Structure 1
C-alpha cells in the first residue's frame, strides 16, 4: 500500500557553505504531519514557496526505498518521502496523490541529483549511492493538502520522454 512516510516544509536553507562546515541546525517544526500545496507555487511555508527560480522544482519527492535505514527528509532535504511509489522512474509523468483531502497533482519534471552534502548528513558514500535515486523535482499543478499516512497514488502519462 503506498504511503506518505514523512513531510518537510522548512522556511530555512540548511545546506549553506561547504559540507565540511556542517549544516545549519534543524528547525524544530520542519517535519510536519501535513502540508498545503498551491498550484505553480509550492508548499506554503517552505523556503522555495513562490520563488520564480524554483517554479519547476518547488516540491521534491523521494522514495523511502532509496534511503538507508534511519535516513529521512531532514537529512536529504526533500519535501515528500513516499513508500511504495517508484518516483525516480516517473520523470515526465504526473503523480496524483490523495491522502484523504482530495487529489493533488504533481508534474514530475526532472531528477533531484544528490550532492556532496549527502555524505555529511546521510553518511559516507551516500552521494554516490543516491545517484539515480535522489528523488524528483516537481511542480504542483493543483492546490491541496497532503498528510502522513496511507495515500492513493496514480500516475498520468506525461510528455514522451527522450528514448
Structure 2
C-alpha cells in the first residue's frame, strides 16, 4: 500500500485529561465540544489545543488514531452502540484503513490542506476506562484494535472528510527525518 483514499470520520482535541482517578468514579466532564471539524498539527508538539500538545513526555505519542471499523466491530461484539472518539480518547478516527497495521510505519494524511507526516507509531494499549465509557468487556475487546500513538514530524491541518493516506516510499519525510 503506497497511497489510498480514506475518510477522516471524527477529530478530537481535548484540553482536559478527563480519565483521571478510578474508572468506577467516571470521567471528568468535558468543557464544551471535544469533537471538532479540523485540527492544527505542529511538528514535535502535537495537536494545538489538545491535552498532550507540547508535553515533553508525549512528543512521540501526542497524536492517536483509530479505525472506525474497529469501533464498529467492538460495538457488534459487545451489543452496544458504536462509540465515538469521546469514549476512546483517540484524536483521529479513520475509515478505510487498518490503522493497527500501520504500527512502525511512517505515514501521512492529507485532507486537502497539505500533507501531515507521522512516524514512530506504536499500538495504543486499551485501558480499564473503556469498560466504563463503551461497555463491560470493552477493555478486552479493544486488544489488538486499540489504534496507534504517533508523533507528527511536519506541521499541517486535517479536517473531517475525504483524505489521502500515504505509506512507505510515498511519505515525504522532512530533511533529517528517518
Distance 1:12 1:64 in 2: 23
Q: Is the 8 A contact 2:102 2:121 kept in 1?
A: no
Range 42-51 or range 62-71, more displaced? 62-71
Q: Report the TM-score, using the length of structure 2 for normalisation.
A: 0.85
Q: Report the TM-score, using the length of structure 1 for normalisation.
A: 0.93
Q: What SS does structure 2 have at the residue aligned with 1:14?
A: coil
Residues 40-81 of structure 1: per-residue CA shift (max 9 Å, x gap): 100000010000000111000010111124201000000000
Could you tell me which residue of structure 2 aligns to residue 52 of structure 1?
A: 56
The structure whose Rg is larger is: 2
- Deviation (angstroms), 1:87: 1.1
Q: How does 1:59-98 map to 2 (within 5 A)?
A: 59-67=63-71, 68=75, 69-98=81-110
Unaligned runs of 5+ in 1: 159-163
The CA RMSD measured in Å over matched residues stands at 1.3
Could you tell me which residue of structure 1 aligns to residue 122 of structure 2?
A: 110
Q: How does 1:13-162 map to 2 (within 5 A)?
A: 13-67=17-71, 68=75, 69-156=81-168
Structure 1 or 2: more helix by fraction: 2
Residues 112-158 of structure 1: per-residue CA shift (max 9 Å, x gap): 00000000001111100000100100000100000000111111269
Distance 2:121 2:96 in 1: 20
Q: What SS does structure 2 have at the residue aligned with 1:151?
A: strand
Q: Is the 8 A contact 1:61 1:87 kept in 2?
A: yes
Distance 1:156 1:61 in 2: 18
Distance 2:121 2:35 in 1: 24
- Deviation (angstroms), 1:108: 4.5
